[in-house]
Amino acid sequence: MRLWSVHPKYLDTKGLVALWRESLLAQKVLQGNTKGYRHHPQLDRFKNTENPIASIGMYLYHVYLESKERGYNFQFSKIITIEDVPRIGISDELLKSEFQHLLSKLQSRDNERYKQYVLLEEIVPHPCFEVSYIE
């Protein structure tokens, strides 16, 4: 399960579709509707919020918005709740590390997108996250 900290605009088609599926799975896990993945480290930052279901709902909502921007047909009705929640703090190091990981995937899957972002200096996080400390 990968719940990217980088903005979904950077993902290629395959990555965005996978993010939607995995975020929906995370929503089920946080609701207690699965047996697996309950202790996955990618879920900890959502579990540690005041309202985990609302936090993953907002995460999904922004993935949905990116899908609409691209003309995809993700089902909005699959998002349980959308509430305004505080952003989750992440480190600058985590954001940079994830972006480098994404670049390696893009290099093999979508070379044009890779070339577009390889020299990017300022990485935008997913709107549910904010860089709150630097490692």
How does pLDDT run along the chain (135 residues), one tens digit per residue?
589 999 999 999 999 999 999 999 999 999 998 776 666 778 999 999 999 999 999 999 999 999 999 999 999 999 999 999 999 999 999 999 999 999 999 999 999 999 999 999 999 999 999 998 655
Q: Is residue 3 part of a domain?
A: no
0.85 surpassed by pTM? yes
Q: Confirm whether 12 is domain-assigned.
A: yes
The Cα–Cα gap between 25 and 130 comes to 23
What's the total number of domains in the chain? 1
What three-state secondary structure class fits 125? strand
Residue 20 lies in a domain: yes
Domain that holds residue 52: 8-133
Q: What are phi and psi of 91, to 5 degrees?
A: -90, 155
Q: Which residues contact 47 (CB under 8 A, 6 or more apart)?
A: 30
